[in-house]
Amino acid sequence: MQTTRAIGPFTVSAIGLGCMNLSHAYGVPPSPEQAERVLLAALDAGVTLFDTAALYGFGANEELVGRVLAPHRSRFTLASKGGLGGVRGEDGVLRRVIDGRPEALRQSCEDSLRRLKTDVIDLYYLHRWDKKVPIEDSVGAMADLVRQGKVRTLGLSEVSAATIRKAHAVHPITAVQTEYSLWTRNPEIAVLEACREIGASFVAFSPLARGFLTDTLHDVGALDAKDIRRPMPRFAPENYAANLKLLPAYKALATEVGCTPAQLALAWLLHKAPHIVPIPGTTQLDHLHEDIGAADVRLTPAQMAQLETLIGEHNVVGPRYAPQATGEVDTENFAPSAG
């Protein structure tokens, strides 16, 4: 299997790094020193795709990436996202706001460039489609950023095949980013094919099922109060207990293949299609090197089929998002199961 993959004009490592959890989302983030160690170790290990967003830590993640990686800017492809960020209310509290208006996207990009300490972002995504704004208007504003030399290529996140095609008619879409793993198969409905059709790469976030497929999360009751998994139905105690029953056979297959559970999950994605690039995130150096090692794992067609039988929409209990978050995305969904 190739150790690099194409995202538009860029050649990137087959496995990139999602930087979100160095600042955001899964409880207390690591110290700045530890976050710096992870970023530099990834770069030294050959990772050449780093993915951040204005939302992560309400700008703190971009500032971290800028501070640590700006001196090495020529060595990697930089991806960030706008259109979803924090707005401070009258009470002084920062709240997550989706805003796809052209003027908001222009300002978001300027702010990201400043935090990232760079003149240009290689791949700039619309983090969420603001359904109050036609996708053509948001992408039109982002196309202006390309023409101005502030952004090299454009991407979309958590959108449907129909939205991808509408956006692509305005300006070429280089990549689409959506959650994709053995336990979240929504992209298989239509988005993977739409990406293939228009020549876009598919960037898989949460490829390890937010920790489930690493076999390291056994007690969801121990999750930090601010961990974003707490309101997710699959991580509700009763549902998660049911989902844990899927792991023994999965771990047995990892042993048979000769890799760790995390590597098996990433290898499955790499074998699914050559236009898929997973971006696992981690705060630990050993997990970083483990993830990167998945590019060396080989799976047979029989093992691929077995994996898809072991874990999938047919037996995972609970939807991936709670109702509010479900309403914020535009991705196709499978019909609800009886589970």
Query: What would the pLDDT profile of 98-147 be if each residue is shown by its tens digit?
Result: 999 999 999 999 999 999 999 999 999 999 999 999 999 999 999 999 99
- What stretches of 45-81 show up as alpha helix (H) in DSSP? 60-69
Give yes or no for a contact between 105 and 142, defined as CB atoms under 8 angstroms apart: yes
- Catalytic site residues? 56
Over residues 253-297, the pLDDT tens digits come to 999 999 999 999 999 999 999 999 999 999 999 999 999 999 999
Q: What is the DSSP letter of 70?
A: G
Residue 58 pLDDT greater than 80, yes or no: yes
Question: Which H or E run includes 49?
Answer: strand 49-51
Torsion of CA 139, 143, 148, 153, to 10 degrees: 100
Q: Which CATH superfamily is domain 4-209+272-297 in?
A: NADP-dependent oxidoreductase domain (3.20.20.100)
Domain boundaries defined on the chain: 4-209+272-297
Predicted model pTM = 0.96
